[in-house]
Amino acid sequence: MSVIYEVEHVTRYRYAKPVTFGLHRAVFLPRGSYSGRLLSYSLDLNVPAKVHWVSDTLSNNVAVIEVKEPAQELTVTCRFQGEHFGTRSIEAFPLDPRANEVPVQYTPDEWTDLAVYLRPHAEDPDGSVAAWAKHFVGGDRDGTSDVLSRIMNTIRDTLTYRSREEEGTQPPGETLRLKSGTCRDYAWLMIETLRRLGFACRFVSGYLYDSALDGGDVGMTGSGATHAWLQVYLPGAGWLVYDPTNRITEGFDLIAVAIARHPGQAIPLAGSWFGNADDYLGMEVSVAVRKLGSIPEFA
């Protein structure tokens, strides 16, 4: 079975008086992959602008936006429809024997290809992240799937989800200290924890479908905005999905848009403007994800 979905992502910046704009980069459209395909899309602005599309170093679809005129408000609206084939959990794949226990044994070719996803990126000045990682392994607790599930469940069960207005992602050590964070903070903490245990991991930004938005009963944490999770590379299975915010490892709820080594590479919309500091009045973001229907699997 596959699911047909529709996403509308609107970002609105407001200013006290007209300001001028530098280049903006938007990462809204899903990348092509085995898990789905893009059916249609549009990108609209409320002011005259030139838009061209590029593929970045990680093969993400990036719109480069050149705003032509000063404006008191800048609204960027992306709409697209896609087909989602779903993702399967670790239990659905026969792992290579070298991936059954921690540390996973990558081949020399895999090490070369995965090196940027294996090296920790965030600083850990007090060693708190490394120490936290170590307590998930040891003795007879080194089965790969068990370790991954333990870390995901611990983040979900012991931290408090808190949305915040500040841009950016907390350092993993800060998330541990505060015992709270957003979906981006949760994903980044799990990535940097796993990298310190020898796993290749990458950050994923995208959208979360919540059936409650269509009148269903299930409410997801982090819906109504962009969402973040991670992928872990395991020989025999490839890149597997882990969403510590909602404890998701399979299904049709996660719609991937961009992958990255670190969260700063997967910002949905970023750019510059020129004016007085007090001209900026704020930003509003609204995201709607709708399920339009499903296509049955044919034998």
Same domain, 105 and 196: yes
Q: Report the SS3 class of residue 42.
A: strand
Q: Would the pLDDT of 86 be above 70?
A: yes
> What is the spatial distance between Cα 195 and Cα 129, in angstroms, rounded to a whole number?
10
**Token pair 């990462």 in the structure block, residue:** 27
**Do residues 256 and 272 both lie within one domain?**
no
Half-sphere exposure of 284 (CA within 13 A, CB side): 8
For 250, the domain range is 90-261
User: Do 56 and 107 fall into the same domain?
Assistant: no
> Of all residues in the chain, what percent carry a pLDDT higher than 90?
79
Examine the domain organization and report whether 286 and 236 are in the same domain: no
What average pLDDT does the chain have?
Answer: 92
Residues 98 and 242 occupy one common structural domain: yes
Do both 170 and 185 map to the same domain? yes
What average pLDDT does the segment 57-68 reach?
Answer: 96
pTM: 0.91
Residue 252 has pLDDT above 90, yes or no: no
- For residue range 136-158, list pLDDT tens digits in order: 998 777 899 999 999 999 999 99
94 φ/ψ sector (left φ>0, alpha ψ -120 to 50, else beta): beta
Q: Same domain, yes or no, for 139 and 255?
A: yes
Task: Identify whether residues 256 and 275 lie together within a single domain.
Answer: no
If one counts the domains in the chain, the total is 2
To the nearest whole percent, how much of the chain has pLDDT over 70? 93
Closest CA to 179 of 196, 194, 157: 157
- Whether residues 196 and 153 share a domain: the answer is yes
103 plus 223 within the same structural domain: yes
What single letter denotes the amino acid at residue 11? Answer: T
| Predicted local confidence at residue 93, as pLDDT | 85
Q: Do 255 and 111 share a domain, yes or no? A: yes
Which CATH number do you get for residue 11? 2.60.40.2250
CB 255 within 8 A of CB 4: no
Model confidence pLDDT, tens digit, residues 184-233: 999 999 999 999 999 999 999 999 986 655 555 555 555 556 899 999 99
Cβ-in-10-Å burial (0-12, 13-18, 19+) of 36 comes to buried
Q: Are residues 125 and 70 in the same domain?
A: no
